[in-house]
Amino acid sequence: MAKCQMKKGFFFLRECENQATTTCTVCGREFCNEHMRIIPGKNQPGCLDCLGKQMQTQKDEKARKKDDDYDDYYYDSSWSYGYRYHYYRNNNYSPWYDGDDLNDSYYSELDVRSFDDKEIDEVGADDSLDYQAEANVFDS
């Protein structure tokens, strides 16, 4: 199988480096184990994107039953995978994309921003990763 097709992340989207192991029964894309779960009630594999979207839809429709099928996933990564689409739409947020393969039609609705849009200036960028304590405004 090929590489996992998940774009992972919330504010920053990026490629998953793992090899795909299973096909999502909802969207038909291939994913690694980390990005797959069993869809409640169907006993079939589904990716975090599809599962998360189903969870959000169920919540939006206020159709949550007392014994919610998705309870086990509410505190799982699948929640944030579903919630990110809701978040992008409602907050007009365009996630940063750090990768080179955004041809997947599944993500075509996303308005991503890329670091490739950098302008070129002069030589001598400082690559230090050190955090400057004196610049901290979070001290009060």
Partner 1 sequence: MVIVSALKKYFALDSKQKEFIRTGQRIFLARPEELLTFLKPLAGFDKECDSARSRCGLFMFLVILGWFVMMIFTGGEPSIFSLRPATIHFFIVAIFFTLLFLYFFFRKIDIHNNLREFVVPIINSISQDMNKDEKIRLKLDFRGKCIPAKQLKQEKHDPGWFSYPKETITFYRDNWLDGSAILHDGSKLFFSVTDLPRKLERSKKNPRGKIKSKTKYKIKHRIKVGLALKNKNYSFNENERLTAAGDRLKHKQGEKRNVISLTRVLISNSVDSVVEPISMLALIGKILMSARPATVKG
Question: Which residues of this protein are in contact with partner 1, per CB under 8 A?
Answer: 8-12, 14, 71, 75-77, 79-81, 83-84, 87, 90-94, 96, 98, 113-132, 134-138
The distance of closest approach from Cβ of residue 82 to partner 1 in the complex, given in angstroms and rounded to an integer, is 11
The distance of closest approach from Cβ of residue 85 to partner 1 in the complex, given in angstroms and rounded to an integer, is 13
44 vs 89 by CB, closer to partner 1: 89
Alpha carbon distance 27, 43 (integer Å): 16
Alpha carbon distance 49, 113 (integer Å): 20
109 vs 130 by CB, closer to partner 1: 130
Nearest to 73 by CA among 36, 106, 24: 36
Q: What angle do CA 13, 15, 19 make, to 5 degrees?
A: 150
25 vs 34 by CB, closer to partner 1: 34
The distance of closest approach from Cβ of residue 27 to partner 1 in the complex, given in angstroms and rounded to an integer, is 19
> Which helix (DSSP H) or strand (DSSP E) does residue 38 occupy?
strand 36-39
The distance of closest approach from Cβ of residue 7 to partner 1 in the complex, given in angstroms and rounded to an integer, is 11
10 vs 28 by CB, closer to partner 1: 10
69 vs 76 by CB, closer to partner 1: 76
Alpha carbon distance 36, 120 (integer Å): 40
Quickly count: other Cβ atoms within 10 Å of residue 38's Cβ: 13
* One-character DSSP codes across 62-74: T---SS-TTGGGT
The distance of closest approach from Cβ of residue 96 to partner 1 in the complex, given in angstroms and rounded to an integer, is 7
